[in-house]
Structure 1
């Protein structure tokens, strides 16, 4: 198998020296390049400090601390942009969190009964967490609050703690939705405008020799389109009939698809990068979408040369007509990816998926085992405020945040950093009104640091939880060192019972997913030249890009694993890129045919398709990739020649000898 010469991306940089930290650790400690969400920072600061201030003023600071814990759950769950999605992301997890604190309160002090109940809650939490984003946060809060309720004394009667947590979450929800009456469609409009801007940046580098820049911009386009379709179609799922604003946005989004397709052709054959007017025109369209402007600006585009340039020109003028004039699609916009099913249908499908999915059961059992061991350990060994051990297990084993191994290490590092801050606060700040401004500062750091990565989020959340815990149990500075020890115990349990005892095959989890994507690529090659209608080709290509995006995310998570998993992922990474380029080359060839190029022969298409199918079969057959030896022949001047070159490149990567 070949390796990349520059050692970048695939292997995480040059081979480190003996004293250099491992690549997976450096990756986890490197802050992500993400903007600070200032609105979320302000909301978090007020949402966590205000309930605490009210509780202190009323003479019941413990009530305020519980309400602030509910607000903390709402702040962590507020990860969407569209208001309807934010309503679900905050409200639904709060229901599960209230149920969790209630169960924990009922079994507080009941020894092994509490162990059994928390183990069962962990199984349910794990099974629902693997379904989706909202379910993941809901499962997290269900288990997290159950652990807190079983580990800390709560005020009587039993319903007090669930009610206070719900009040805190409701406060965050109200603050979040204050702008809804004035900005109802603003998030959807911003998402579509962002998709147009991402395409403008793609066209700005199309046709250059900087292939890495083009690939990066294309991934940005995929993410932007996925986000836009999810946001717009999610809004339409709640609308009765076809409301004009959402239909218009959907039409504008659909009009972007031909421009994305033509960008693939422009990158290989056209002159888009040498025609800056093209990218500038798309940026102007993005501004029109964002502002809702209907007046069409002039498009001073140069005369197109060849099929690729004609494809870009026609797609751009069509998009301009739809954005400014409504165009032919505005009144009859189809949903391209399919309109979401009714809520009751999706709930039924979700429940069936959770009960029948092997992945759900595996994760649920793994989490239940670790929680059961954590609770059993603290029941047998006297550990002060032992709930922190199970809390550590809950955070580290959350499935959609990346490698379990690296998360355990990063959790320990993040907790240690957070404890340094907590130690200073608990030692220097007396409990009372001084907690309110301190909480305002610490709470503001949570959304700001969460955008930078897991270790930074852990470092920000730890002092907040410790401060609220101290309001409840009054241990002060003596709370710090036990929490560090508890975190190390929890991380150890996860590494042994949640990682080493579950040797899931990396090939099974990722190799088969890549093989599935390669098979879909073979079908796409056949459909692109096999008489399939354009709308169906668009659906297939969008689905394929989504699948490849998921595969890429899986590989990126695998790259954070320690050897041998991380090393294998690094070796396979170039093949993921090669498959993406096969899809791009297929799209470019189809666009050229649509705009005047001679179509390929049926045998040429079938020959390429057979090679892609053989590549998929080789991926499934063994962890060691299997060489595909059959030759690819055809017209070297035809539209399929670049596609054949990409298939040959994939064969070379897949070959054990590194030769096609």
Structure 2
């Protein structure tokens, strides 16, 4: 993609306006919390202190709107602590000659590293950096720095208190995450009717697992209908895939395939009904006519599904029935004890923020090396913000802090977000500053009117968080202008300075990324290698469970391996999406692996992943006899895929000759055993795995090699 096309597309994305709005009640709650801080501070202390308190209240309120499954109050408190510390350090440093640029650079570097923890931490850290640059412009002496820092923290604490006493849709994020899983499975079932080897989107499952991690307080208050349904959904996915795939499920054509399509269509309708019930909290209303699922049950008349396909259909029917029964049973429960054993004895646990701090610091520490994209972003952030600040000081512009503030709010670890937000920030800030300055110039409002206008703009910013970054920036810039309007100065001169400094800060941020980029295209082989290695561990765990059913491997090894491969695939797809909009050629960034080779290799790893899912759908119970040699083959597979991942990363050839020989030997051993559906499924799954690895071997081949024989057929 050319630079012109990339810049045009990212600019268009940044200026896109969505008609959706944030929940108005939540926006009103955030504005009320800000008002509870601004007006008392203005009455008791004055404009400067009211500005610090307002900044703390607004940024802490912004943290409660981020995509996070932690309690909103804890997010506000964490933001308040960061805001108070940044405000205090800024006030202290600004009074020492030459100290503030050093503190600013160090804080900017830390804010960039915060992205290693997650997007929420990165956004909040960038906001604390912006607040540091704004509030230190207010006239204040060093002895009162503690007072301003405390007021900034109090603003965030009030947000946390209001969120606690005025809960709104407390479980909306968890409900939506769980409902998205079932809605995604419904869509997956429909696609399988026409494409039996379709892939499922892993993102809803990853988000759903994050949503299921609860603090102790959340676990005691979790709605009963949110318990246990995610585990059922995890088992529905392989059952759908195993039924649809003609290699281990229903026949490719004929009456059995038609019956499988009926079952999949009925399952999709049931999954949609479950998703609606979970999202709304209303009783589940299943479709009245589900003949496909009825025919999948034993003893229901002529059943055209046979063998493994029949087992998959019956398992699918049973899982859907369990999900519906669980929702129906919870609907009939009128009293739910907060200390019920089911609320605290099961599920994932999310430790409190204080206990997470050591792990977060360790995560950040692992990014401190020159090959880390997060480290590159942190260095870029520190250099750009400090350079913009020093440039504004050299130009002797009174309100030059808008330049580094714009740079801090614009910069993101990837190209697309940085450039789209840069365009949106410049456009929104210019519009907001001009509009609010015109209001101040024309009507000359007093301090209390300016405070009211600032609070209204905060509420508008909360309300338009989903509308678009440009629109939200208009409201943010307006509230900052109204707050700073409490200080003396010429409004027209202030407007010119703010717009020019916004342009300067945006230009510096975009130029820095263009000159010192971190292209995701260059990291695609790394993401592919991580996915391949995790897919190999997942397949090895599944074969190990066949080899030792009584050892509990299905829960101890298969489950964690599935989560790893799902996350690796999601990260690879996210990197690919970001790489698609970068203005660089794939051949220049990854000369050892062409784009055609990468796409073929990605398809082969996806086939390996899917083949393992089909095998997982038929995992034996703990009382089932072991499959001879399955565990040993799994170990060979794990080692071979790990070596292949290293070869992909280094741009070398992949060689599965030893694994292919091990598979032939093992398959001949299984062929000599008495006929058994379970053995047939394992042999078919192993053959699919070897076909996928053979395709991978061909995809990344760098030089001509003799063709390898195809894996042995199932009936050999």
TM-score by length of 2: 0.73
Q: Distance in 2 between matches of 1:393 and 1:523?
A: 42
Is residue 2:109 matched to residue 1:88? no
Match of 2:362 in 1: 352
Judging changes above 3 Å, is the alpha-carbon distance between structure 1 residues 497 and 289 closer, same or farther for their aligned structure 2 residues? closer
Match of 1:472 in 2: 487
Q: Distance in 2 between matches of 1:131 and 1:566?
A: 32
Give the drift of 1:175.
2.9
Output one character per residue of 1:431-459: Cα deviation in whole Å (capped at 9) or x when no partner.
33554664455334423443255445434
Is residue 2:588 matched to residue 1:588? no
- The match for 1:395 among 409, 423, 428 is 409
Judging changes above 3 Å, is the alpha-carbon distance between structure 1 residues 461 and 264 closer, same or farther for their aligned structure 2 residues? farther
SS of the residue aligned with 2:583? coil
SS of the residue aligned with 1:561? coil
1:178-577 matches, cutoff 5 A? 178-180=165-167, 188=174, 191-209=177-195, 215=199, 218-219=200-201, 222-236=202-216, 243=220, 245=222, 249-268=226-245, 269=249, 271=260, 275-286=264-275, 289=278, 300=290, 301-304=293-296, 305=305, 306=309, 307-324=311-328, 339-340=349-350, 345-355=355-365, 357-358=367-368, 359=372, 362-399=376-413, 403-432=417-446, 434-435=449-450, 438-439=453-454, 442-497=457-512, 500-501=515-516, 504=518, 506=520, 509-531=523-545, 533-535=553-555, 536-564=557-585, 571=595, 572=598, 576=602
CA contact (8 A) 1:93 1:134 kept: no
CA contact (8 A) 1:44 1:75 kept: yes
Is residue 2:684 matched to residue 1:638? yes
Judging changes above 3 Å, is the alpha-carbon distance between structure 1 residues 298 and 391 closer, same or farther for their aligned structure 2 residues? closer
Output one character per residue of 1:577-616: Cα deviation in whole Å (capped at 9) or x when no partner.
66445323320243256599x9898699799878855652
CA contact (8 A) 1:100 1:144 kept: no
Any gaps of 5 or more consecutive residues in structure 2? Answer: 251-259, 297-304, 331-340, 668-679, 708-716
- The match for 2:139 among 129, 153, 156 is 153
Any gaps of 5 or more consecutive residues in structure 1? Answer: 1-14
Q: Which has the larger radius of gyration?
A: 2
Q: Distance in 1 between matches of 2:700 and 2:576?
A: 16
Give the drift of 1:26.
3.8
CA contact (8 A) 1:396 1:491 kept: yes
CA contact (8 A) 2:60 2:76 kept: yes
CA contact (8 A) 1:255 1:319 kept: yes
Deviates more, 1:527-536 or 1:183-192: 183-192
Give the drift of 1:34.
6.2
SS of the residue aligned with 2:576? helix
Judging changes above 3 Å, is the alpha-carbon distance between structure 1 residues 421 and 615 closer, same or farther for their aligned structure 2 residues? farther
Match of 1:168 in 2: 155
SS of the residue aligned with 1:529? helix
SS of the residue aligned with 1:431? coil
**Aligned length in residues:** 628
Q: Distance in 2 between matches of 1:658 and 1:24?
A: 41
Larger RCO of the pair (alpha carbons < 8 Å, separation 6+): 1
Q: Distance in 2 between matches of 1:63 and 1:146?
A: 14
Match of 1:6 in 2: none
Judging changes above 3 Å, is the alpha-carbon distance between structure 1 residues 172 and 346 closer, same or farther for their aligned structure 2 residues? closer
Give the drift of 1:517.
1.7
Q: Distance in 2 between matches of 1:191 and 1:601?
A: 40
Give the drift of 1:563.
2.2
Give the drift of 1:347.
2.3
Q: Distance in 2 between matches of 1:93 and 1:566?
A: 43
CA contact (8 A) 2:67 2:120 kept: no
Judging changes above 3 Å, is the alpha-carbon distance between structure 1 residues 575 and 187 closer, same or farther for their aligned structure 2 residues? same
Q: Distance in 1 between matches of 2:379 and 2:6?
A: 36
Q: Distance in 2 between matches of 1:112 and 1:166?
A: 26
CA contact (8 A) 2:534 2:564 kept: no
Q: Distance in 2 between matches of 1:246 and 1:400?
A: 38
Judging changes above 3 Å, is the alpha-carbon distance between structure 1 residues 438 and 263 closer, same or farther for their aligned structure 2 residues? farther
Give the drift of 1:105.
1.8
Q: Distance in 2 between matches of 1:291 and 1:122?
A: 42
Give the drift of 1:419.
4.0
Q: Distance in 1 between matches of 2:233 and 2:42?
A: 54
Deviates more, 1:584-593 or 1:99-108: 584-593
Judging changes above 3 Å, is the alpha-carbon distance between structure 1 residues 430 and 205 closer, same or farther for their aligned structure 2 residues? farther
Match of 2:645 in 1: 616
Output one character per residue of 1:184-207: Cα deviation in whole Å (capped at 9) or x when no partner.
666545543443344334334332
Q: Distance in 1 between matches of 2:17 and 2:588?
A: 22
Give the drift of 1:541.
0.9
Give the drift of 1:92.
0.6
CA contact (8 A) 1:102 1:161 kept: yes
Give the drift of 1:70.
1.8
TM-score by length of 1: 0.78
Give the drift of 1:466.
2.7
Q: Distance in 2 between matches of 1:55 and 1:231?
A: 37
Q: Distance in 1 between matches of 2:294 and 2:500?
A: 67
Give the drift of 1:279.
2.5
Judging changes above 3 Å, is the alpha-carbon distance between structure 1 residues 647 and 42 closer, same or farther for their aligned structure 2 residues? farther
Q: Distance in 2 between matches of 1:600 and 1:484?
A: 73
Q: Distance in 2 between matches of 1:206 and 1:568?
A: 36
Deviates more, 1:549-558 or 1:338-347: 338-347
CA contact (8 A) 2:414 2:519 kept: no
